[in-house]
């Protein structure tokens, strides 16, 4: 795999992790930045260990 393809895949994974984190009421930006160096490891931690945080009540 070429470096450019790897970078595109890692960037896409980081965006998906940010969306997943936001769906669990967590910081999308923080998980995006964590996902850049950690890649699939960050996805594993986000799915396996991060429960949904209750949001503010209306």
Q: What is the pLDDT of residues 1-58, one digit of tens each?
A: 688 888 899 999 999 999 999 999 999 999 999 999 999 999 999 999 988 878 777 7
- What domain count does the chain have? 1
Q: Does residue 24 belong to any structural domain of this protein?
A: yes
Longest dimension (CA), the chain: 48
pTM of the predicted protein model: 0.83
Q: Does residue 21 belong to any structural domain of this protein?
A: yes
Whether residue 55 contacts residue 25, with contact meaning beta carbons closer than 8 Å, is answered with yes
Which residue range forms the structural domain that includes residue 19? 3-49
Q: Does residue 43 belong to any structural domain of this protein?
A: yes
Q: Does residue 18 belong to any structural domain of this protein?
A: yes
Q: Does residue 27 belong to any structural domain of this protein?
A: yes
């Amino acid at each position: 795999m070429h470096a450019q393809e790897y970078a595109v895949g890692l960037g896409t994974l980081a965006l998906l992790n940010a969306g997943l984190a936001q769906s669990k009421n967590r910081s999308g930006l923080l998980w995006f930045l964590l996902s850049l160096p950690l890649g699939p490891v960050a996805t594993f931690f986000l799915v396996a260990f991060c429960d949904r945080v209750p949001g503010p009540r209306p």
